[in-house]
A and B are shown apart, each in its own frame.
Chain A
Amino acid sequence: MPASSPSADVLRGTLDLLILKTLALEPMHGWGISQRIQHVSKGVLDVNQGSLYPALQRLEQRGWVGSDWRTTMNNRRAKYYRLTTSGRRALGEETASWRRYVSTVELILGTP
């Protein structure tokens, strides 16, 4: 297990948000989500890929994410996750709340 960097710690708290954002584009399997997050963050957010799965389970239990088994393009079985309607609503709320949080921190850091 790689030593956790501060950035990774922050990510852990916001992993749910990142997953929701990723799934907002299209239904995807677990590995796909991990690749996407890594790719889009340009490798900065390099976390344990495994931690994705409990997070997905949590989101599914909240009803924000649905899942079903499908066949991939290479003809293999994989579990695909998709955003539900309430997930889409939650994404909006979570994003707004995240922005508020970031701007507040910005504000504090900005004051001399």
Chain B
Amino acid sequence: MMPFERIRLRLRAALRRRAADRELDEEIRFHLEREQEKNVSAGMSDTDAWRRAYVSFGGVQQVREAHREVRGVPWLADLTSDVRVALRALVRRPALAGAAVITLALGIGANTAIFSAVDAAILRPLPFPDAGRLVMLGENNPEFNWHMESVAGANYLDWKEQVGAFQDIAAYTSGTGHGTLTGAGDPQLLTLQAVTGNFFTVLGGRAELGRGFVDDETWDTTHATIVLSDHAWRTHFGADPGVVGRTIHVDGRPTQVIGVMAADFTFPSSTVDAWYTQRWDRASRTEVWFRRAHWLRAIARLKPGVSVDEANAAFQVVVRRLQQQYPVTNRIMGAGMVPLHTYLVGDTRTALLVLLAASGLLLLIACANVGNLMLVHANGRAPEVALRLALGAGPWRLTRQVLTESLVLSSLGGAAGFALAWLGTRAITLLAPARTLPDSGVHIDWSVLAYTLAITTACGVLFGIGPALWSARRAPGDALKEGGRGRHQGQRMRRWGEALAVAEIALALMLLSGAGVLVRSLWRLAHVPPGFDPRRVLAVGLELPQARYDTTPKVNAFDDALLARARGLRGVTDAAIVSHLPLTGTEWTSSFSIAGRRPGEYGSEVAHREVGPDYFRLMREPLYAGRTFNVSDRDRSPKVVLINDVLARRFFAGQNPIGQRLTFNKVPDSSSVWGTIVGVVGSEHQISLAAEPRIEIFTPQAEDPSGDIYLMVRTTGDPMALLPHLRSILHDIDPEQAIVETHTLDEIVATSMARARFLTTLLLVFAAVGLALAVVGVYGVMAQLAQRRTREMGIRLALGAPARAVRWLIVRHALGMLVPGLVIGTVAALLATQALRSVLYHVAPTDPVTFVAVPLTLALSALVASWLPAAQASRADPAQALHVE
């Protein structure tokens, strides 16, 4: 017979063990009967003949065992029998098994769902060849508190040419732009990304059609070329392979499509429809602005064999040289590098790791809970185990049986948890704020499956190991005496159960404290006044293309027409134009100086926005002094500016700022343009609710108008209802102009808190489930205790003890678990919440309110959970209690 065939037969035999056993039994019976008949015919009595037949056969049981041994794969047979026994035991106690499976499913499901997010956002490598050698470069300026900020064009070019440790450096403009695609039906808005010519080469992006850019094209100002993303190629060009080489019109300018990138290349964002080159003029390299303006993100590829540290050392040499060479712009301009993966993961890392830790705590609570259930289960089976021990079953065999049982249980929980995790990832994807998770999304893949398997097994071992070891360690005699009566657990088991309850209380306290400080932080954040009234305001983003709006009068004519029409809409109370929205961190920044003061007194970075008339009235912001802008400010000379009150308080304390003059140069010279302060307005949070308002200078929008503007309208009704009207107004004024983005200010405020809310919501859910599990766990332990002591209670009551005293006995026992649980949990929580420090807003990780409220809540819940069994015990009828066996 072929070996394979033999294995198949053995496996089948092992699986069909019961059938084979029956067959053998029939064979043996036949044999014994024939032998008996033979003996009878030889003259023996029936009984003698039967006994004799038995003796000459040898031990029937031994033959059976030997037969099985030959027949099957023994460990497999044992395993299948163990699993079958375990399943049968669980089916006999459906409530217990169900509770355990649900508990585990919650723990494993939460953990797996969070892990899949961690896997997608942190663990998965970037989709670039040899991505480990890519680093992000950024500029650091201690004066402005810059860390890894955008890079100046001239600095980028010097690094590219002078740092030998890099194979090459590519750069892309920080932030995307938009262009209107015309000539193919309706105008369509494209999201555009400006890059250097070597962008695709450095990252290792592959074109699926045509080609990517080459290095020299950074400087090509004559040919407009574009590379499409796979997505844009499919949605806007019907996946037409003939698109390469074709000339399309972007913002009215003829542009040649030279390639289409492969679908997996979506850097820096999946929203990018097309890339175009920087098209820098070689003459600008020597101009000051080219080293003063910071607008690039630079990515370097390390030479093979060069470590990040070595490359950084070489990089710093060049950075220091540039500081000396260009003191005007670079005197204290440092630079740093971070592995690209680390840079892109960014803040998400903390949030996700906090969630992973929280779901881990939840899983541990679930394990402790199931561990307790397993004790109840083991207790119920003590007589059976004792009997098997007495009959000579090996302790290892019994240990393995109990362990198999817990593994079967954890597998069922794991399977249910995996299904739950699948739903969980959907929920996380929906709940997660933008840019928290990668574009590719969160998926259940093989690594997630492997993770689930690992934690499932670990859980099974964790909650099963106690009962598994002790069930077999007991001396059979003792076990029979005790277990036979089914009243007592072993001392060790009882201790284990109580230790589990203590652990549950401590773990729940950690989870609740984490959620507690986060809730306090979110509450504080939600009560931060943003500096404006966000209700019923719609903001519509527009990008007027340079090609068609090349002069100030053209832009102003467009803005004026738009505002006039918008103000005429029904329900609109105010309309205004602003260059950047608050709470988005997108405003310009600059250095500045005040006339009549020495440089160095004010080495600060100032925010800068352009606003039109009525902006501050629309935003319902206070005017502290002077006036705001009006229509005639656009042509005024000397120029006028507004400052916010943070700037006024910091730089004009005790003085009247009105009439003072400012310029956007740190060291003013003859070319500096000065503006006179005509008003002090309220302060908006420019970056986020959590970041204090920065000092800010406003200039009149119409003076030197940017084409990138937001039209703001405040209405008496639903702001979104205005959108169709605004769209038709826009079409009337300029049919080729599309709306780039639309927000309500309420939405902007909500987005600013989105990440904090996401983290807090998930942690709160985990904490609530954890608390529920812990309370159920404590209840379970106390209920068992009360049941165990029913007889004792009965005697006490019979002897005249008041019910109150009896209840106190039980509650005192609960306190014995509660107090150590609270102490351990508080100490651990105080340490654990330190990890939250970076995500907390104006709340200490050791927030006293949280650390009083949480232990109190937990203590109260646990006492209620132990009061119920205590109350029941104290109502025990003495006569009945004494009969309880």
Give the interface of A toward B (CB within 8 A). 1-2, 29-31, 34-35, 46, 48-51, 53-54, 57-58, 61-63, 76-79, 86
Tell me if B310 is interfacial: C-beta within 8 Å of chain A: no
Asked if B71 CB lies within 8 Å of chain A CBs, one says yes
Answer whether A50 and B69 are a contact pair too, CB < 8 Å, given A31-B30, A62-B1, A76-B30.
no
Which residues of A lie under 8 Å from residue B69 when comparing CB positions? 54
Q: Please state if B57 and A61 are interface contacts (CB–CB under 8 Å).
A: no
Residue of B nearest to A51 (CB): B58
With a cutoff of 8 Å between Cβ atoms, the chain B residues found around residue A29 in the complex are 27, 30-31
| 7 A-B pairs closest in CB distance | A48-B58, A63-B1, A50-B58, A50-B63, A54-B66, A31-B34, A31-B31
Within 8 Å CB of B71, what residues of A?
57, 61
Q: What separation, in Å, do the CA atoms of A61 and B20 have in the docked complex?
A: 13
Contacts of A62 in B (CB 8 A): 1
Select the residue from B1, B10, B60, B70 with max chain A CB neighbours within 10 A: B70
Contact with A along B469-491 (1 / 0, CB 8 A): 00000000000000000000000
Interface residues of B (CB under 8 A from A): 1, 6, 9-10, 23-24, 26-28, 30-31, 34-35, 38, 55-60, 62-63, 66-67, 69-71
Would you call A79 and B23 a contact (CB within 8 A)? yes
* B53 to A, closest residue via Cβ: A49
| Chain A nearest Cβ from B276, distance in angstroms | 75
Pick from A1, A30, A34, A46: contact of B59, CB under 8 Å:
A1
- Count the A-B residue pairs with Cβ separation under 8 angstroms: how many? 69
Contact: B63 with A51, CB < 8 Å? yes
Q: Which one of B10, B28, B62 lies within 8 Å of A61 (CB-CB)?
A: B10
Of the residues A34, A46, A53, A61, contact of B24 by C-beta under 8 Å: A53
List of B residues within 8 angstroms of A35 by Cβ: 38
Decide: A51 near B66, CB < 8 A? Known: A57-B71, A61-B6: yes
Contact A53 B6 (CB under 8 A): no
Q: CB distance B9 to A53 under 8 Å?
A: no
A78 with B30, Cβ < 8 A, contacts A48-B57, A49-B35, A50-B57 known: yes
* B37 closest partner in A (C-beta): A74
- Nearest-CB residue, chain B, relative to A59: B70
Q: Is the interface of A mostly helix, strand, loop or mixed?
A: helix
Q: Is the pair B26, A54 in contact by a Cβ cutoff of 8 Å? A: no
A30 and B70 in contact, given A1-B58, A48-B56, A51-B58 (Cβ under 8 angstroms): no
Extra A-B contacts (19), CB below 8 Å, given A31-B31, A53-B67: A1-B58, A1-B59, A29-B31, A30-B27, A31-B34, A48-B57, A48-B58, A50-B57, A53-B27, A53-B28, A54-B66, A54-B67, A76-B30, A77-B30, A78-B27, A78-B30, A79-B23, A79-B26, A79-B30
* Nearest CB in chain B: distance from A40 CB, A: 16
CB neighbours (8 Å) of A79 from chain B are 23, 26-27, 30
Determine which of B30, B56, B62, B67 lies in contact with A57 in the assembled complex, contact meaning CB atoms within 8 Å. B67
How far apart are A88's CB and chain B's nearest CB, in angstroms? 15
Assess whether A57 is in contact with B70, with CB atoms less than 8 Å apart.
Answer: yes
Using Cβ atoms and an 8 Å threshold, which residues of chain B touch A50? 28, 57-60, 62-63
Question: Which B residues lie within 8 Å of A86 (CB)?
Answer: 1
Contacts of B24 in A (CB 8 A): 53
For A63, list chain B residues within 8 Å (CB). 1, 6
B9 — which chain A residues lie within 8 A by C-beta? Answer: 61
Q: 10 A-B residue contacts at CB 8 Å?
A: A29-B31, A48-B56, A49-B31, A49-B57, A57-B71, A61-B1, A61-B6, A61-B9, A77-B30, A79-B30
Q: B35 near A77 (CB under 8 angstroms)?
A: no
Cα–Cα distance between A61 and B3 once the two chains are bound (Å): 10
Contact of A54 with B27 at beta-carbon distance under 8 Å, contacts A48-B58, A49-B56, A61-B10 already known: no
Measured CA separation A13–B56 after assembly (Å):
19
Chain A residues closer than 8 Å to B60, beta-carbon distance = 50
A29 to B38, CA, bound (A): 15
A79 to B20 Cα, complex, angstroms: 12
Residues on B with C-beta less than 8 A from A2 are 55
Chain B nearest CB from A71 CB (Å) reads: 12
CA distance A50 to B69 in the complex (A): 14
How many angstroms between the C-alpha atoms of A75 and B772 in the bound complex? Answer: 67
Give chain B residues whose Cβ lies under 8 Å from the Cβ of A51. 58, 63, 66
The minimal Cβ–Cβ distance linking A72 to chain B, given in whole angstroms, is 9
Q: Which residues of the other chain, B, contact A53 by a CB distance below 8 angstroms?
A: 24, 27-28, 63, 66-67
* Whole-angstrom CA separation of A61 from B35 in the bound complex: 27
User: Residue on A with the closest CB to B9?
Assistant: A61
Bound Cα distance from A76 to B27, whole angstroms? 11
Distance in angstroms between the alpha carbons of A51 and B56 in the assembled complex: 11
Chain A residues whose C-beta falls within 8 Å of the C-beta of B56 in the assembled complex: 46, 48-49
**Smallest CB separation, A90 vs chain B (Å):** 11
Distance of A51 Cα from B64 Cα, bound (Å) = 10
Residue of B nearest to A54 (CB): B66
> In the complex, what distance in Å separates the CA atom of A35 from the CA atom of B67?
20
CB <8 Å contact, B58 and A31: no
Note all chain A residues with C-beta closer than 8 A to B10: 61
- List chain B residues, Cβ under 8 A from A49: 31, 35, 56-58
CB neighbours of A54 from chain B (8 A): 63, 66-67, 69-70
